[in-house]
């Protein structure tokens, strides 16, 4: 995009595209050739090409305040350094510029520009004076960004410029491990306003332009009962909940510009067109929803949602109780539809029989192989005391691998961070991604367990995948549920909850099968994660 920088001051962004030739450079950059263009020589002194960042960097960017925009620039030019802005930021009628120190030619220059007062200047058309941008100027511009332009012309005799690794800080509720965005404000907005800086109108309020910043949010006059206001023409229109037979309490227009009704008890659906569970009727035919006289059995704790016609009662799962099977029996907890028993039996290592669901939140222990083998080892089955430590790392593929296998079954041996007390992993998953290459010339699959866990207390449990065997030389992901019904003992017998918890309490080894065939040429492991639980609410 061309930018006109007149001698009288200010900047003017031209709508026509730049005549200079650009091309993609690498995975996250571009290159611009500053030769063989159609600009007249007189324009070189006033019109300059800028790179316009795409849609993802525009519109509402208030959460970038206090953060940085970073990139790497290399210019192959020579001659005198041009005194033009490095960054041009426009929005809400504001134009802000950043002018940094000159770059060094023919080498990569790492640029980091902060969205913070003291770094930016506000320019006016046809003005030679650039005023330091205030915090209000920056926030007004970031509230609705129209253009974010990066300079591509640095020297009077530029030939070629490359710009790569463009990153712009933002902020989110989830903790991504990049520090707190302390400069992003979170205001206690008055009625009618919303957003981190009260920059938006709340639902049910209208924007009214004024001289003060972005204007005001005002509440429209109320429509009569069972009418709603259409924001497209600000008219009051009758509610249809669902049709002319109005069973709704009120209605309003939703974000998709369709009506959503507020339904009384017993009704549901966007237009109150259906009866809720436990109610009978047909609002679409003008029939009101009335409470069903029969008892509905709780689907979480009952074997069927319908009462037994012979006894007139609900048939509860083994650990559920109550008239509708909506409670757990004593010394049981966590009523859930996915549980074959309805509830979970308290174990407490045999010391106590009373328990409840914890207040913990799920997170994971994770291993990824970008630089080293994370202390993973390989070992033959039943020969864990003689592990293979000469494991190679492929940073490009982010995997570890080994290629010198004997015709045996080998397992990946997980490091210590996955071991010891992992009781909170119960009910979660062990997930991993791997691949293998058989020896050419024919092979057969082994029937060894996919996963094996061993504890200091002597517990040894197996997990066998029930699906088809994975295809060779293709990454595949396995999700192993840490629930007793999916595991077996060494003698093939079923595992109970107590045995699985005993194994998780004192983990000495977790083994993941590496070789799936009788003769294996290569095996690789790409990632491993183990669910655990913590009292940190910011785990996602």
Spatial neighbors of 351 by CB under 8 A, at least 6 apart, are none
- Alpha carbon distances (Å) from 518 to 395, 434, 466: 28, 17, 19
- Residue 417 belongs to a domain: yes
Q: What is the pLDDT of residue 4?
A: 86
Q: Which tokens is 500 given?
A: 């699985």
- In whole angstroms, what is the distance from residue 230 CA to residue 223 CA? 10
Same domain, residue pair 329 and 429: no
pTM metric for this prediction: 0.45
Its domain, for residue 54, covers: 2-168
Q: DSSP letters of 29-90?
A: EEEEE-SS----GGGGGTEEEEEEP-GGGSB--GGGTT-EEEEEEEE---SSBP---SEEEE
For each of the chain's 540 residues, which pLDDT tens digit applies?
888 888 777 888 888 777 777 778 776 778 888 765 554 434 456 888 999 998 989 998 888 888 899 999 999 988 888 889 999 999 988 999 999 999 999 999 999 999 999 889 999 876 667 889 998 899 889 989 999 999 999 998 888 899 999 998 886 666 666 677 667 778 888 877 888 888 888 876 777 777 667 778 887 777 888 888 877 776 788 888 887 667 888 888 887 888 899 999 999 999 999 998 878 888 988 889 988 766 789 999 999 888 876 776 889 999 999 989 999 999 999 999 888 899 998 888 888 888 888 888 899 999 999 999 999 999 998 888 889 988 999 999 999 999 988 889 999 999 999 999 999 999 999 999 999 999 988 778 889 999 999 999 889 999 999 877 888 989 999 999 999 999 999 999 999 989 999 999 999 999 999 999 989 999 999 999 999 998 876 655
Domain boundary among 115, 134, 168: 168
Task: Decide: helix, strand or coil at residue 501.
Answer: helix
Determine how many CB atoms are found less than 10 A away from the CB of residue 28: 13
Same domain, residue pair 338 and 406: no
Q: What is the pLDDT of residue 425?
A: 93
* Structural domains of the chain, count: 3
Same domain, residue pair 408 and 307: no
Same domain, residue pair 27 and 112: yes
What are the φ and ψ backbone dihedral angles of 284, each rounded to 5 degrees? -65, -25
CATH number at residue 347: 2.10.25.10
Q: What is the pLDDT of residue 89?
A: 95
Same domain, residue pair 12 and 157: yes
CA-nearest of 462, 526, 529, 527 to 500 is 462
- Residue 262 belongs to a domain: no
Q: What is the pLDDT of residue 41?
A: 39
Domain boundary among 329, 357, 385: 357
Same domain, residue pair 353 and 367: no
Same domain, residue pair 343 and 475: no
Same domain, residue pair 383 and 498: yes
What are the φ and ψ backbone dihedral angles of 450, each rounded to 5 degrees? -70, -40
pLDDT for 169-218, tens place per residue?
886 666 666 677 667 778 888 877 888 888 888 876 777 777 667 778 88
- Residue 11 belongs to a domain: yes
Domain boundary among 109, 141, 168: 168
CATH number at residue 120: 2.60.120
């Amino acid at each position: 995009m061309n930018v006109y920088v007149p001698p009288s001051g200010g900047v003017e962004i031209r709508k026509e595209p730049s005549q200079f030739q650009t091309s993609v450079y690498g995975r996250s950059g571009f290159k611009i050739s500053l030769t063989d263009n159609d600009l007249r020589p007189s324009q070189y002194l006033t019109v300059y090409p800028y790179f316009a960042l795409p849609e993802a960097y525009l519109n509402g960017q208030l959460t970038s305040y206090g953060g940085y925009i970073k990139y790497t620039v290399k210019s192959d030019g020579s001659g005198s350094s041009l005194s033009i802005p490095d960054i041009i930021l426009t929005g809400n009628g504001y134009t802000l510029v950043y002018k940094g120190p000159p770059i060094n030619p023919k080498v990569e220059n790492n640029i980091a520009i902060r969205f913070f007062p003291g770094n930016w200047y506000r320019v006016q058309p046809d003005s030679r004076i650039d005023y330091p941008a205030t915090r209000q100027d920056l926030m007004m511009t970031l509230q609705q960004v129209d253009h974010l332009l990066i300079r591509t012309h640095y020297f009077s005799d530029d030939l070629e410029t490359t710009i790569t690794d463009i990153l712009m800080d933002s902020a989110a509720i989830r903790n991504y491990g990049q520090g707190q965005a302390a400069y992003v404000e979170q205001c206690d907005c008055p009625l009618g306003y919303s957003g981190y800086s009260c920059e938006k109108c709340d639902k049910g309020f209208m924007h009214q332009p004024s001289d003060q910043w972005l204007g005001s949010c005002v509440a429209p006059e109320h429509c009569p009962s069972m009418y709603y206001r259409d924001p497209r023409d600000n008219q009051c229109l009758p509610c249809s909940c669902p049709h002319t037979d109005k069973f709704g309490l009120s209605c309003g227009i939703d974000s998709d510009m369709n009506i959503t009704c507020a339904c009384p008890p017993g009704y549901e659906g966007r237009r109150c067109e259906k009866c809720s569970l436990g109610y009978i009727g047909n609002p679409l035919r003008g029939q009101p929803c009335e409470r069903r006289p029969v008892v509905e059995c709780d689907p979480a704790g009952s074997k069927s949602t319908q009462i037994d016609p012979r006894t007139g009662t609900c048939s509860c799962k083994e650990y559920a109780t109550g008239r509708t099977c909506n409670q757990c029996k004593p010394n049981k907890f966590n009523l859930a539809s996915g549980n074959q028993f309805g509830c979970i039996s308290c174990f407490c290592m045999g010391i106590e029989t009373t328990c409840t669901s914890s207040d913990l939140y799920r997170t994971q222990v994770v291993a990824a192989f970008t630089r080293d083998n994370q202390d993973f080892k390989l070992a033959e089955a039943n020969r864990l005391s003689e592990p293979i430590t000469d494991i190679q790392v492929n940073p490009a593929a982010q995997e570890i691998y080994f290629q010198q296998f004997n015709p045996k079954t080998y397992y990946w041996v997980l490091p210590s961070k996955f071991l010891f007390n992992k009781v909170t992993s119960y009910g979660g998953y062990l997930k991993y991604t791997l691949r293998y290459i058989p020896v050419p010339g024919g092979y057969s699959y082994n029937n060894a367990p996919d996963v094996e866990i061993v504890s200091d207390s002597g517990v040894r449990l197996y997990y066998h995948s029930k699906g088809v065997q994975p295809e060779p030389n293709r990454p595949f992901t396995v999700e192993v549920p840490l629930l007793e019904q999916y595991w077996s003992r060494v003698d093939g017998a079923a595992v109970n909850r107590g045995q699985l918890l005993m194994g998780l309490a004192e983990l000495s080894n977790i083994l993941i099968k590496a070789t799936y065939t009788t003769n294996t040429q290569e095996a690789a492991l790409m990632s491993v994660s183990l669910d655990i639980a913590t009292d940190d609410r910011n785990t996602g």
